[in-house]
Amino acid sequence: MRRQCHAFTLIELLVVIAIVAILAGMLMPALNTVREAARQSTCANSTRQLLLANLSYANDWEGFGVPAWGWDAAGADILNLSWTRNQAFLDQMEITAWDKCKSVICPNSNAAIIKWYTLNRSTGINMAQYWGTCGAWGTPNTIVQIQLSRVKSPGMTFMFADAVDLVLNWGNRDSYQNESILTPNGMVAYRHRQQLVLGYWDGHVAPMARATFKALDYWDRAWQAY
């Protein structure tokens, strides 16, 4: 006896495709959330590595963190002193050269830009003390980072943050719009669902919402280490 062969009609196929599309549509936001959580976690781990490297660097350099950057008597940048290119600092993370920093770059930073600028367009160092209490050490024109023993509240003052510049100043807390810009001048970057990842002097890492960070006063502990 011959069984009747059932073939799907076009309508049935379309209905199946529509159901699959609806299910996929329902899953996508959940998947995006999970993926973004993973990216933020990667960023936090990278920031933690930078913190530990700087604490370790300070241990080797009489308690001083890595210089944010340096310049000579003529005012020219000494790039190999700046923290993103300072080999003594990079050595702490076993990074062989300033342009090989892929392991500590925020996964949400602009890949096309970090290909050229590496850490300079991924993470910034807190420069609130730059114009004031942070004195020179080493060569007269080297800008020093913070001295660990002088930090008043290590658990409340951030050292590193998501940024599009290697140094951060208080005046540019909300200037970041587009990572393709080439003159970011101290801008932070809210890369993780309107939050930035902050790394503090005691070694802990925590995200902060854009609104909270923007509302910080210049003299807030988060900015002022001394």
Amino acid at 169: N
**What is the residue type of 152?**
K
- HSE-up of residue 97 (Cα within 13 Å, Cβ side): 3
Shortest spacing between CB 124 and Zn ion, in angstroms: 11
Residue nearer to Zn ion on the CB measure, 36 or 91? 36
**CA–CA dist 82, 123 (Å, integer):** 13
Do residues 192 and 108 make contact, with C-beta atoms less than 8 angstroms apart?
A: yes
Please compute, for residue 179, the number of CA atoms within 13 A of its CA located in the half-sphere on the CB side. 21
Q: How far is the CB of 100 from Zn ion (least distance, A)?
A: 19
Closest separation between CB of residue 137 and Zn ion, Å? 30
In the complex with Zn ion, which residue's Cβ is closer, 64 or 190? 190
Interface residues toward Zn ion, by CB under 5 A: 43, 106, 162, 191, 197
- Separation between Cα atoms, residue 93 and residue 91, nearest integer Å: 5
Q: Compute the least distance from the CB of residue 55 to Zn ion, in Å.
A: 20
Query: Which CB atom, from 138 or from 210, has the smaller least distance to Zn ion?
Result: 210
Residue with smaller CB distance to Zn ion, 162 or 179: 162
